Amino acid sequence: ARRNVLITGCSSGIGLALAVKMAKDEQKRFKVYATMRNLAKKEPLEEAAGRRLGKTLEIKQLDVCDEQSIKTCVNSIPDRRIDVLGKYRMFSNAGMGLIGPIECQTIDEMKTVMDTNFFGLVRLLKEILPDMKRRKSGHIVIISSVMGIQGKDVLFVPSGILFNDVYAASKFAVEGFCESLAIQALKFKLQLSLIEPGPVVTEFERKVFEDGMKMDLSAADEETAEMFTNIYLKNYKQIFQSLGQSAEDVAEHTVKIILAENPPFRHQTNTLYTPMTTLKYADPNGDLPIDIFYKMVFHHDKIFSASLNFIKLLRWRSRKSFDLGKPSQ
């Protein structure tokens, strides 16, 4: 049977790549409802979808911050039937990229990030979950995000992130929400998966960087402003150049998760930072990852260059073995 897949944020980046990849599936296993907040931006998606447009892919309007637009979109889908909900947490494209010292950010800017990244997901689920529960069928796939930084070299970790305080908080909110919901979902035979990419080379990268460069740092003390400019921003580009995945790569991982017979609750698309995750669980006091990230950022310890190389090796190895078993059909 064909799966109806609803994806949000499809005007660019990962959302666009995933929508196109699924619409072009050779076995025609998906009907994609590719949604975006502003339909005036649909041209790149239309172009990429080509002759699949109107067949395996339909474009619809949906703003995750607007309950009515979600309702209208879901009501327009035959029988409101959605088997897979791919939800993209928004970052910088819509002005969501909030990096920098919190002293220099307004509460309203922070609320917008939470409203999009966290409440956007809650709004979607409020609309779609009751249908999925009734049918006892559905898979909710959520794109989360992970990032961390080290002086010269850079690592991405699913943990707190220097100068990404509010963004990280919005991600933690999503993760806590999903961990709780997953228990109930199991009772209704629903599946929930969090996709956790590292850096992905999209418009997002350029916009976040530009916003950071333009930031008014006058409310911050000299040391903080200098840390943001000379450690964080200076390394930012390098992160994406050396470690960035393509949107297509993340889309490929996501499709495998969607097709897996027993999809995992969490899937990291860039195994480079997987060993860092273990730090979090290795110390119940929680000091270990904080201490290590501190040293990585401020002391550029040689030991961390060595561990970076080790992690790169692990990444290379696990890339070779990226296999989620046989697909469910």
> What end-to-end distance do the CA atoms of the chain give, in Å?
9
* Residue 273 lies near ligand NAD (rule: CB under 6 A): no
Put the strands of the sheet holding 191-196 in their side by side order.
Answer: 57-61, 30-36, 3-7, 84-88, 139-143, 191-196, 266-268
CB burial of residue 102 (10 Å; 0-12, 13-18, 19+):
middle
The angle formed by the CA atoms of residues 152, 158 and 161, to the nearest 5 degrees, is 55
- Minimum distance from residue 220 beta carbon to ligand NAD (Å): 24
Tell whether residue 205 is a contact of ligand NAD (CB under 6 A).
yes
- Structural tokens at position 169: 């908080």
Is 232 tagged catalytic? no
26 is in an annotated binding site: yes
Min separation Cβ 147 and ligand NAD, Å: 7
Member of 9, 158, 160, 289 binding ligand NAD (CB under 6 A):
9
Q: Which stretch binds ligand NAD (CB under 6 A): 82-90, 104-112, 211-219, 260-268?
A: 82-90
Size of the site for ligand NAD (CB under 6 A): 30
| 15 forms part of the interface with ligand NAD (CB under 6 A) | yes
Answer yes or no whether residue 13 interacts with ligand NAD by CB under 6 A: yes
Of 58-66, 122-130, 212-220, 281-289, the segment contacting ligand NAD by CB under 6 A is 58-66
**SS3 at position 18:** helix
Q: State yes or no: 320 annotated in a binding site.
A: no
Among 34, 74, 90, 231, binds ligand NAD (CB under 6 A): 90
Q: Is residue 14 involved in binding ligand NAD (CB under 6 A)?
A: yes
Beta-bridge partner residues of 289: none
Q: Does the annotation place 16 within a ligand binding site?
A: yes
Q: Pick the piece of the chain touching ligand NAD (CB under 6 A) from 198-206, 224-232, 301-309, 316-324.
A: 198-206
Where do we find the tokens 């919901």?
Answer: 181
Nearer to ligand NAD, 159 or 202 (CB): 202
Active-site residue, selected from the candidate residues 167, 232, 236, 273 = 167
Q: Could you tell me if 30 and 5 are in contact, meaning their C-beta atoms sit under 8 angstroms apart?
A: yes
- Residue 172 known to bind ligand: no
Phi and psi at residue 31, in whole multiples of 5°?
-115, 115
Residue 145 binds ligand NAD (CB under 6 A)? yes
Residue 94 near ligand NAD by CB under 6 A: yes
Contacts of 219-227 spanning 24+ positions with Cβ under 8 A: 219/101, 219/103, 219/104, 220/101, 220/103, 220/104, 224/101, 224/103, 225/101
CB-based burial, 138-160: b 16+ in 10 Å, e otherwise: bbbbbbbbbbbbbbebbbbbbbb
The CA distance from 78 to 6, in Å, is: 12
Of 291, 151, 308, nearest to 231 by C-alpha is 151
Check binding of 109 to ligand NAD (CB under 6 A). Answer: no
Candidate residues 25, 109, 203, 248; the one interacting with ligand NAD per rule CB under 6 A: 203
DSSP for residue 5: E
Closest approach of Cβ 43 to ligand NAD, in Å?
13
Phi and psi for 88 in degrees, rounded to 5?
-105, 120
What's the closest the beta carbon of residue 192 comes to ligand NAD, in angstroms? 17
State the residues that interact with ligand NAD by CB under 6 A.
8-9, 11-15, 36-37, 63-65, 88-94, 116, 143, 145, 197, 199-200, 202-205, 247
- Residues annotated as binding site for substrate? 145
- Residues annotated as binding site? 9-37, 63, 145, 171
